[in-house]
Amino acid sequence: MTLNQTVAVFGAYGHTGRFVVSELVRRGWRPIISGRDASKLNALGAAYPGLDVRPASVDDPDSLDRALAGAAAVINCAGPFASTTAPVIEAALRARIPYLDVAAELEANLDTFKHYAERARDAGIVIVPAMAFFGGLGDLLATAAMGDWAAADEICIAYGLSSWKPTPGTRAAGQVSRQRRDGRRLVFTNGQMAFRSDAAPIAEWKFPAPLGTQPVVAEFTMADTVTIARHLKTPEIRSYMTVAAVKDLMEPDASPPVAVEENGRSAQTFLVEVVARSGGNERRASASGQDIYAISAPLVVEALRRVVSGLVHGTGVLTAGEAFDARDFLESLRQEHLALEMP
C-alpha cells in the first residue's frame, strides 16, 4: 500500500516552518505550504518550485479546509499557538487527518489536552502537540530514562544551551504566555501545576562533558513538563535552564538566530539531560546537537512518518513519549541529528 506523501504545513514560511518544509522535501514528502501571508508563501514557493501554495487564515475556516484538502496530515508551525492551535485542529478534525505542532507554549499545550483529547479519540484521530525541541525531545528522553519503572519520585530536565537568540515568533509567544498567566511562573509540584509569583531560584547543574557544571535558572518550566506529566507517574518535575541562555532570551533587543550553514542552522548548541529518580536509584538520558529550532524539524517529521504509517500507540491527544517507542524514535535520529546517551 502506497502512503499519501502530501502534508500541509501551516506557518510554512516562519523560522521553524522553513526547517520543517526543507526536511519534508529531503525525506520525499510533498508539502502543501500554507499560512496567512501570501507574499511570503510565494517567496518560499519560489525556492521550492512545484510545491502547492495555499494561503489560509485561522479566521477563515473555509480557507483552512482548502489548505488541508488531499493532505495525509497537517503540521502547525504558526505561533503564537494560543491563536492558531484550535482553528487548525478543528480543520484537521473536519478533514479527519492527524494534527501535529511544534508549540512550546505551555498554555496552548494544556488547552489542546483539555479541549481535544476526547473529541480526537472519539473521531479516531491522532493529535501530537509540542512535537519539537521543547516538549517532544524531553518527553522522549524521560520516557527512555524511566524504562520499566512504573513511577519515579522525581524527574529532572536540564537544558544546556550555549546561547538563545529568540526568533520573533518565540518572543511573541512568550509575551502571550506571560499575559495569560498574569506574569506568574508555572511549576509542576505535588502532582499538579502550580503558579509561582516569586523569582526563579539560581542553582547549578552538572551536565555531561564537555559542558560540565553550569549555573542554571531552576523552575524554568517548558513544554516538556506538560508532556511528561501527561503519562509518566511522578509527583515532581524539576526543570533547569543555563543562565547564559536565559540572559540572551530576556534581552529587550535580542537579535534573531544567525545562520552559519547553508541549511539555515545557527551556531547554537544544546545538551538536554533528563534524570529520573526512584527510591535512591537514578537513571539518566541525554541528547545533544545543534540549533533548537532546526532540530524540531526532524523530530516532527519523524513523528509524522510514524503517525501516517500507523506506528503510533492509540488515538486522541498524545505526547511523543506515549505515542511512540521512545528509544526507537530517538535512535532513528542518532548520528545524523543527535548524539545520545541512554540507560
pLDDT at 252: 87
Question: 134-294+328-341: which CATH topology?
Answer: Dihydrodipicolinate Reductase; domain 2 (3.30.360)
| Element spanning 249, H or E | helix 243-250
**pLDDT tens digits, one per residue of 237-289:** 999 999 999 999 999 888 899 999 999 999 999 999 999 999 999 999 999 99
Helix (H/G/I), strand (E/B), else coil: 149: coil
pLDDT at 1: 54
Question: How far is 203 from 208, CA to CA, in rounded Å?
Answer: 16
Q: Which residues of the chain have pLDDT under 50?
A: none
Confidence at residue 243, expressed as pLDDT on a 0 to 100 scale: 98
Q: Is the pTM value of this prediction over 0.85?
A: yes
Contact partners, residue 318, CB within 8 Å, separation at least 6: 126, 127, 128, 312
Report domain extents, the chain.
Answer: 6-132+296-326, 134-294+328-341
Residue type, 335: Q
| 238 CB-near residues (< 8 Å, 6+ apart) | 154, 155, 156, 157, 218, 219
Strand pairing partners for 311?
A: none
| Residue pointed to by grid coordinates 517567496 | 43
Residue type, 130: A
C-alpha grid cell, residue 63: 480557507
Query: Would you state the pLDDT for residue 254?
Result: 81
Q: What values do phi and psi take at 138, rounded to 5?
A: -60, -40
| Domain 6-132+296-326, CATH homologous superfamily name and number | NAD(P)-binding Rossmann-like Domain (3.40.50.720)
